[in-house]
Chain A
């Protein structure tokens, strides 16, 4: 039973969605940074997908060279501020902190990182340099983390960059798909503005690229194109009643929540389908929006869930109930949702079997499907010679990030099928280097 009151004002919303990693004050940062051992060939650096020189930036915070610390972070990761907040640090840098081996609390690397980058972003101080113009033009599709990182790197190499974004805001899932207790919209958008103000890449909003003609135009007018378009809408479950009012995809739910805050009405009884991190987020969010009974339902066992344990624990602590080994076989209700019909499942000889004779209904007013986003397979067919794997993930050269069509490079969710912001930020940067290498060889 969740115990959050339904937020009726922005203040109440913010209270329910308190930041999990609040901004450190200078004294906190001072004492926390003093704890870092400055390990040799530090495990935290290796555990960071972007290989930030973490001991260095922590030492810089300690010696009050906060701007230098921010520079160290951004040198490795263009979305250093966002990543400091939204990264699953417990399984990345902080999980690798050697202190864990003596049951000492690991250094709060994410919060220290955010302390440094937030401060420099807040000051507006310019710390990046645009590269010497080389009169070459690059197009980027999607202003998500991968696209933004790619744009920044390309600008620092001297390329002109134009990003085509379907929505009216930058940042992709960093704003639309992340739980509000991890990061605020302003925090994400301020970082992107900070980068854009200094590096001067263009973003064309409300400009979806979805036709062969548009792509041909891009190919004609740009020297290379980066595909950073992520994934699509939540995929269909293809079960009876799925189109009833009150069935929504998790990504769409989170996006609505992030834009409407307390104005979003979440009913009392919610069922969340799925076992990934997005499912955990959606369930926690429903609880914090005042839903009283939230059931998280996953088709396989608890151990098989893809979600991080800390995300699951967080949902449980928010008052979410969980059910395992059941699969939705239909949505019931007259016109609108009144419940989800589940069948039990069982693992038989390594295969998950549905037991159609063991069926029951969980009553609810809202069903959130966190069962995965659709791939962009249809779009990819518009591009010649573009190869995907059997799950519609773009195939790339792992070093250059070049796709099978040499003019196109790709990274982020479109390639990995859905991972962290930090992975996208790394891909975008590396792809830019790959594009540069291809154009200068």
Chain B
């Protein structure tokens, strides 16, 4: 029997599906509605000294007919008085005592941190999240990502918060930094109980081609926003992995954020070490009801795999994420096209010929357009299988027998790597490359 409940650094929730601190958690109304819909926790829209927002706040990146593949915002923290928020937190906790309500906080001085932590604890929050991530507006005022980008400052504020807080403290990190482990370690050393990541990425999502202003446009001008949505998921997962594989940081729980929309996303984040996940854009796009699919999918996955709780599989992908130098150079795959499925679009042909290794030949049979793989040219790059629009038409088949195994690290140790510009140990030696003039049409 699947049990989705979690205990995240002492914060209990009926399931790992949390709402990230963002517009969907702006009010008690929204959070109650979300809990009704099936969400297990919510990180309240960041509280602090209320701001004044602009009109025209969100922009998006659409890919063909897919709306909001990427999404950005220039909205700041809450613009509602603290007292209103506190009252609503209390009310939500009264109705949903077993759901996780976490207050995201962002203030400047130690005095303010101590005060606001006391206030939200009195309102009944189960935990607090320090917002060191917001990359627009607030950072200009020395808060948000301005803190997240200075590990020393971040550590100090985590220490203040830990001193003041009775409930668990989560530190939310900005991805706008070279090495996520730097602020991650600082948070850990500051004593944080958990880390959540990623906050949004500094972005310009588009320029209006008539006014030349960036979206979202505020009276002819714009500013960088914070980028999120499905497009940022790969960046988030890589940063999650960096923390989850870190010998010290990995001792504390990690809450995964960034482009999560489906049960598959949820499972992937858990496999990379997250033990709660936070969602914003998917809810802003589809509403709270999107959690139904995540819940059903996660349960079915766990059922099929025989997992009881998410802790049974949390982090299981981590041993398989290694450095390039440890990959097996003897492993060899080759593309195979299923002629019964092929529709003859020839996208694989042109992708390979123009974008990869000239390893696909067009059909010489006038009756069909089914291309064929030139096995001796195929380097097993996967490109054809990625561009193929038909389900399971191009597959990558293993061609080596698995007996040989050598890595770049091993070859380096054995002094068996190319070291000069024309080294005959170059991997491409002997590989077919057409003559340059073959490119010219006769």
Contact = CB atoms under 8 A, between A and B. Distances in A.
A35 B349 CA distance: 20
A34 interface: yes
A43 B344 contact: yes
A40 B351 CA distance: 9
Contacts of A308: none
Contacts of B344: 39, 43, 98, 101
Contact of A31 (B65, B346, B389): B65
Interface residues of A, number: 16
Nearest to A63: B64
Contacts of B318: none
B236 to A, nearest CB: 27
A99 B102 CA distance: 49
Contact of A62 (B64, B345, B346): B64
A98 B389 CA distance: 10
Contacts of B345: 37, 39-40, 98
A35 B65 CA distance: 8
Interface string B344-376: 111101100000000000100000010000000
A96 to B, nearest CB: 10
Contact of B64 (A34, A40, A41, A99): A34
B343 A102 contact: yes
A30 interface: yes
Interface residues of B, number: 15
Contacts of A99: 343
A147 to B, nearest CB: 34
Contact of A40 (B342, B350, B389): B350
Given A37-B345, A101-B343, A102-B343, A43 B369 contact: yes
B390 interface: yes
B65 A30 contact: yes
Contact of B346 (A34, A39, A101): A39
Contacts of A31: 65
A101 B390 CA distance: 10
A37 B350 contact: no
Interface in A1-44: 30-31, 34-35, 37-41, 43
Interface of A: 30-31, 34-35, 37-41, 43, 62, 98-102
23 contacts: A35-B65, A37-B345, A37-B347, A38-B347, A39-B344, A39-B346, A40-B345, A40-B346, A40-B347, A40-B349, A40-B350, A41-B346, A41-B362, A43-B344, A43-B369, A98-B344, A98-B345, A99-B343, A101-B343, A101-B344, A102-B341, A102-B343, A102-B390
Interface of B: 64-65, 341-347, 349-350, 362, 369, 389-390
Given A62-B64, A98-B369, A100-B343, 20 more contacts: A34-B64, A34-B65, A37-B389, A38-B347, A39-B345, A39-B346, A39-B347, A40-B347, A40-B349, A41-B346, A41-B362, A43-B344, A43-B369, A98-B343, A99-B343, A101-B342, A101-B343, A101-B344, A102-B341, A102-B390
Closest 4 interchain pairs by CB?
A: A34-B65, A40-B350, A101-B343, A40-B346
